[in-house]
Structure 1
Amino acid sequence: MRWTIPAALAATLSAGVALAQPLSPTPRDVEGPYYPDILPADSDNDLTVIRGKQSAARGRRIRLEGRVVDRAARPLSGVRIELWQTDAGGRYIHSGDPLRAERDPAFQGFGAALTDEQGRYAFRTVVPAGYASRPPHFHLRLLRGERALLVTQLYLPRRSGERGIGPGRLSLREAAQTVRLEPAAADALVGHFDFVLDRSAE
């Protein structure tokens, strides 16, 4: 089931994007080994429900939304955003995940969204679990047609007492890759993140 952009997002711009020029491009980050080796048949922007299944994914819900703009804050439409992540138990849908048998069968694990004329995108998913030395994070790839414009990772805000980059935080510009969280109704979260692309990448 495809999930539409909420009216609240449609009516507002994400904080800060339209105010400063030029904007700094969103940092690149490693793709990692768990981009799905077999894409799911249902790969829309709602990762909490798989078409044809009765049950929904386990875990706390998060709505990840924002815009894709260039360095002059102009919206970029028609950009495909791919998102892949762990489920609430820290498992990927990739066949190489050593504990894949324990993954949530009701979680889609991968989804895609297309930016609209104002550069807006939205996903509905669950808060990803960390694993080994890695904190909770989202993997994302932005494409124009078949051309990758950006591969990066987004992090959730640090928990109290968490310090340093460490082996699990790969980016030296982590602050520019952190999702801004807000509480929402019914034990859910809203995460805001605006991607800034250099037009030379197009």
Structure 2
Amino acid sequence: MTNSAPRTTDPWAVARADVGSEEALALLREYYTDVANRYYRLHLGREGTPEEIEAGLAGSPSDDLAGPTGLFLLGRYRGEAQSCAGLRVRDARTVELTRVFVRPGLRGTGGGARLLAAVDEAARALGAERIVLDTRLDLVEARALYSRHGYREIPAYSSGPYAQVWYGKDITAPVHADR
């Protein structure tokens, strides 16, 4: 008897990458443009100008997402770079999650879940016991993703104009998400 059930394979793969690579820089630019334009639309009723986007990118570098201060992950969907996340070492036991992005056309395909599973593995490999992050209240999809994957609101650990809500997750033991 043969199994007639369709075989499924995860089209997503996540691995460490050079934060300065062309693929990484392209995704980081899309990430920044996406979150900046959401902010500009919400607060100013318009898109950000190219000059505002460039100034924001320059003022928010990602070069600390490389050893020894951090690491950068690229998610590939069917071989093409489509998502990213960074980890920044805060202390011997804590890393900060940042620059989480899945290209809009692939949201809902499991890329965010696969990316966060790889983040947990990478954080443990760095010796971390806890992951923290800050985000904005208007990034509701990201906040829902974090909550589904074990992140809980915590007291503020950072300050800044875009830090409105803070999350933390203990990773001393593997955690399996519902989705």
* Same topology, TM > 0.5: no
Q: Which has the higher contact order (CA 8 A, sep 6+)?
A: 1
The structure richer in helix per residue is 2
- TM value normalised by structure 2: 0.34
